[in-house]
A = this chain, B = another copy of it.
Amino acid sequence: MAATTPRPRSARRRPRPVGVDTLERLKRLIGDGRYQPGSALPAERELAATLGVSRPSLREALRMLAALGAIETRHGSGTRVSATSAGVLRASFEFLLLLDRPTIDDLLDARGLIEGHLAARAAVLRDDHDLAALDDIVAVMHAHAIDSRAGKDANRRFHQAIAAAARSTVLERFMACLDDGIRACIESGAATADPATSHAAHDAIHAAIVAGDADAARAAVAEHMRLSGINAGSARTRPIGRPR
């Protein structure tokens, strides 16, 4: 019985809960490609047996992965690894907004910075495929009102296409988060989008990317953010969300 408690106090580490430990193991399995993006995970009972944990513990791990945006679960059907990493930061960011309540201006400022950089990179790095995609989207935007269903959708895709052409997944994800937050503000009535200047601004950005002019692209985005699209009114420097 001499070695019943062999671990010295200094190196003492708290044993991880099984659920958390299982999360790490699954993370690793997904990261190593054992479970490919878009593919189905084994059934809960089976996976629990494979990993040697109980189903409730496995479910805790799966729920954490779902909260992180890594998997999607459908009752009766099964669980699959998310096909893309596009949703990974979103839930966390939404929560961050809830806790920190930044002002709308802060969100717009951050977005302007990042999207300007993305546009500048896109102007340099874009290939024919990117340009073709942008052309298509701009055409759709011209064909629909900016505040229509199709117009909003094209608007979103326009910004996504720029981010994709810039070849920086990290900033692309950040941008998507900010976009979510700003969109939520607009839809909750805290700010309103002004359709008037949108077409012109988008065209300017588009033209700069086509021309391969990084500085012009950055400037066009800054202009777009500055005069607008967004009228935050009196709430401009107020924390977003409902008051506590």
Residue numbers of A with Cβ under 8 A of B are 14, 17, 19-20, 23, 27, 30-33, 37, 56, 59-61, 63-70, 75, 85, 88-89, 91-93, 95-96, 98-100, 102, 106-107, 109-110, 113-114, 117, 168-171, 173-174, 178, 241, 244
- Report the minimum CB–CB distance from A166 to chain B (whole Å): 10
Closest 3 CB pairs of A and B: A64-B67, A92-B92, A31-B98
Residues of chain B contacted by A14 (CB below 8 angstroms): 75
Contact A99 B59 (CB under 8 A): no
Contact B95 A27 (CB under 8 A): yes
Contact B113 A117 (CB under 8 A): yes
Contact A99 B113 (CB under 8 A): no
**Known contacts A14-B75, A63-B64, A75-B14; is A168 also within 8 Å of B109 by CB?**
yes
Q: Helix, strand, loop or mixed for chain A's interface?
A: helix
Residues of chain B contacted by A98 (CB below 8 angstroms): 27, 30-31
Contact A100 B59 (CB under 8 A): no
Cβ-defined partner of A92 (8 Å) among B33, B59, B91: B91
- Closest partner residue, chain B, to A99 (CB atom): B85
Contact B241 A75 (CB under 8 A): no
Cβ-defined partner of A244 (8 Å) among B33, B56, B68, B89: B33
**Known contacts A89-B89, A168-B106; is A66 also within 8 Å of B69 by CB?**
no
- Report the minimum CB–CB distance from A44 to chain B (whole Å): 13
Residues of chain B contacted by A96 (CB below 8 angstroms): 85, 88-89, 169-170, 173
Contact A70 B89 (CB under 8 A): no
Bound-state Cα–Cα, A48 to B31, Å: 34
Beyond the given pairs A27-B95, A100-B173, A107-B170, 9 more chain A to chain B contacts, judged by CB atoms under 8 angstroms and listed by A's residue number, are A20-B63, A30-B98, A31-B241, A68-B92, A69-B92, A89-B89, A92-B92, A100-B170, A174-B174
Residues of chain B contacted by A114 (CB below 8 angstroms): 113-114
Cβ-defined partner of A168 (8 Å) among B19, B33, B102, B117: B102
